[in-house]
Structure 1
Amino acid sequence: MTDVAPRLADAEADVQSIVEGNMEKLFGVRFLASEYSTGPVHGGRIDSLGLDENGAPVVVEYKRGVDSGVINQGLFYLGWLMDHRAEFQHLVRDRLGATTAAPVLWSAPRLICVAGDFTRYDVHAVREHRRSIDLVRYRFFGQDLLGLETVASVSGRTSAAGRVRRRAAVLPPVRGHGGALAELAEAVDEVLLSLGDGVSRVQRKQYRAYQRLRNFACVCPPQKTKLLVYLKADPREVDLIPGFTRDVTGLGHHGTGDLEVQLRSERDVERAVSLFRVSYAAG
């Protein structure tokens, strides 16, 4: 067996090309445009534009090696994007259709920086910003294998640890059944946020998403007697239990994920923790 030494790209464009061709698989982001011009006044080009699986706009910037300017450059373009919402929605409409363009999640824009490496100052800097920022280190292995590692991930809102301590607001309860199910949703929220570093939470009208680079869990508002959680775990690798887990591959539902978990009690939450961890690892 021959060891394959990790290496940097020969050029920044090599990284950009592979990521753009596999953006949804790598980041859960639908690719919209490459080298997008910000116009003659602003005078810049955004490396990649996309829309994540929760409908949030995404700017992706690349650097071949270590470059202390990548974060500021990305934030500069993210600021431009927030000032040109109509232009972005027009782009989404052209690429993905009017139905997708309507509910763009402007409250949670994201910046993903992909580079050969980052300094400790970069990691500290992203924690001081109010934006959602992911720092991702890449390496090539051989000619066509790309490895990615998350160096830092900040949600741009309150930190996960702070949310756990406060036992923050949960999904809206169903009238008449709110007490127990609201407590159940709160317990699930606490477990999902505590699975590891870099977990962020994105609230949509139909569900609440928990993500690293990609969604790994989506929690829907409580039904009359149960709470539904959708996970990125592969249903084919899970022993499905009627009334607890279900394969929803190809079936329409809110949120993302092909494994449905039905929670009715704290005991169900305890049973589901191992599935949460599998989905977190896959995300």
Structure 2
Amino acid sequence: MSDITLFRLKPEVEPIALQAVRLEREIQRLIERNMETFFGVRFLASEYAVSLADGADVQGGRIDSLGIDENNCPVIFEYKRDVNENVINQGLFYLDWLIDHRADFKLLVIERLGRQAADTIDWSSPAVYCIANAFGRYDLHAIKQMNRNIRLIRYANGGDMVMFEYLNSPSTVALASPAIDGGFARSRSNDKTFAQQYAGATDELREIVDEIRRYMAERGDDVSENELKLYLAIKKVRNIVCVEVNRTRVILHMHLNPDTVELGGIVVDAREKGHWGTGDLECSIRTMDELDGVKPLLDRAYLEN
């Protein structure tokens, strides 16, 4: 895997020695205390026990850390504790278990975050974050073949600093989701999915969506797509821009402060508007020329997030 060297600039330039923490439990506690700051994920539970259908505990059957991201998708964190541990397969096992036990996850969200948060859980793009101070040479190749929403994240710390290196940027297509989610009725079952929105749009609007995807992908290798139930999230660690499309326009919600943007016309402040996705700046686009006009805002959203 790639190597990174950090330098301290003051009082004089010198390299910062990066090292793994002495105990993996230390990095787990650090991440759980600061999960939203580091990854934009709200913390739910530590060492969450899972069991088989017959009630018997799975040996080692505990999800290291469990959270829910800004798109309201479940996120599993697994920490690699030794060089021989297959943390990727372990994370996939827990992901499949969680998808099969949606009601349990929803009850956990109700307990920790309340009913409103639980009613907006989106199962279209659950994720596994694998955290380690090093990965084997075949790990990155392996997850490319799996076509699952798995992130490999290498960490190191240097004194009072910690570094997270994202070794891949998975893009996902929304998973099929039943009308009844884990025993609870979905509150958004009548809304068109993003795939349905795209399929029902005009050729020109689909071309605009395709150009947005192409343009953002060209910003950098750290850009990925999560196709969620109701919108497309284009993101790095956090969302950069969320995309919806209907019969008349493409709607973008960007992570930019509206107070720093000249508003008017197709660009509006969405802080007081209800909408799918995340981002306080809304742009409504009907033509390629209008898209060209907001590309500088897309550049800013990429650079500032």
Which range, TM-score by smaller chain? Answer: 0.7 to 0.9
Aligned AA (1:31): F
Q: Which digits, 9 at most, give the CA deviation of each residue in 1:204-236, with x for residues without a partner?
A: 22x322223322110123374x43211123445
Distance in structure 1 (CA, Å) of the matches to 2:236 and 2:84: 23
- Contact 1:65/1:117 (8 A) holds in 2: no
Distance in structure 2 (CA, Å) of the matches to 1:142 and 1:64: 21
- Contact 1:66/1:115 (8 A) holds in 2: no
Residue 131 of structure 1 and its aligned partner are, at CA, apart by 1.6
Q: Which residue of 2 aligns with 1:266?
A: 288
The number of residues matched between the two structures is: 268
Change (3 A) 1:140 1:235: farther
Distance in structure 2 (CA, Å) of the matches to 1:227 and 1:256: 15
Aligned AA (1:82): I
Q: Which residue of 2 aligns with 1:23?
A: 35
- Contact 2:155/2:162 (8 A) holds in 1: yes
- Contact 1:109/1:131 (8 A) holds in 2: no
Q: Which residue of 2 aligns with 1:42?
A: 58
Aligned AA (1:77): Y
Q: Which digits, 9 at most, give the CA deviation of each residue in 1:101-151, with x for residues without a partner?
A: 2343223221001111223311001101132000111121323x2221111
Q: Which residue of 2 aligns with 1:214?
A: 238
Q: Which residue of 2 aligns with 1:186?
A: 210
Identify which of 213, 226, 233 aligns with 1:201: 226
Question: Aligned with 2:139: secondary structure?
Answer: helix
Distance in structure 2 (CA, Å) of the matches to 1:11 and 1:82: 30
Distance in structure 1 (CA, Å) of the matches to 2:289 and 2:139: 42
TM-score, with structure 1 as normaliser = 0.82
Question: Aligned with 1:152: secondary structure?
Answer: coil
Distance in structure 1 (CA, Å) of the matches to 2:87 and 2:198: 42
Q: Which residue of 1 aligns with 2:159?
A: 142
Identify which of 65, 80, 89 aligns with 1:72: 89
Distance in structure 2 (CA, Å) of the matches to 1:151 and 1:249: 33
Supply the RMSD in Å over aligned alpha carbons. 2.8
Identify which of 92, 112, 117 aligns with 2:129: 112
- Contact 2:172/2:226 (8 A) holds in 1: no
Structure with the largest fraction of helix: 1
Distance in structure 2 (CA, Å) of the matches to 1:276 and 1:129: 30
Unmatched 5+ stretches in structure 2: 1-10, 175-193
Question: Aligned with 2:122: secondary structure?
Answer: coil
Q: Which digits, 9 at most, give the CA deviation of each residue in 1:231-263, with x for residues without a partner?
A: 123445x44242243343455332111222332
Aligned AA (2:30): I
Change (3 A) 1:259 1:146: farther
Change (3 A) 1:19 1:247: farther
Are 1:227 and 2:250 matched, yes or no?
yes
Identify which of 14, 21, 43 aligns with 1:9: 21
- Contact 1:155/1:201 (8 A) holds in 2: yes
- Contact 1:29/1:53 (8 A) holds in 2: yes
Q: Which residue of 1 aligns with 2:188?
A: none
Distance in structure 2 (CA, Å) of the matches to 1:194 and 1:96: 37
Question: Aligned with 1:254: secondary structure?
Answer: coil
- Contact 1:172/1:182 (8 A) holds in 2: no
Residue 279 of structure 1 and its aligned partner are, at CA, apart by 2.1
- Contact 2:124/2:227 (8 A) holds in 1: no
Q: Which residue of 2 aligns with 1:240?
A: 262
Question: Aligned with 1:26: secondary structure?
Answer: helix
Change (3 A) 1:179 1:80: closer
TM-score, with structure 2 as normaliser = 0.76
- Contact 1:129/1:156 (8 A) holds in 2: no
- Contact 1:229/1:262 (8 A) holds in 2: yes
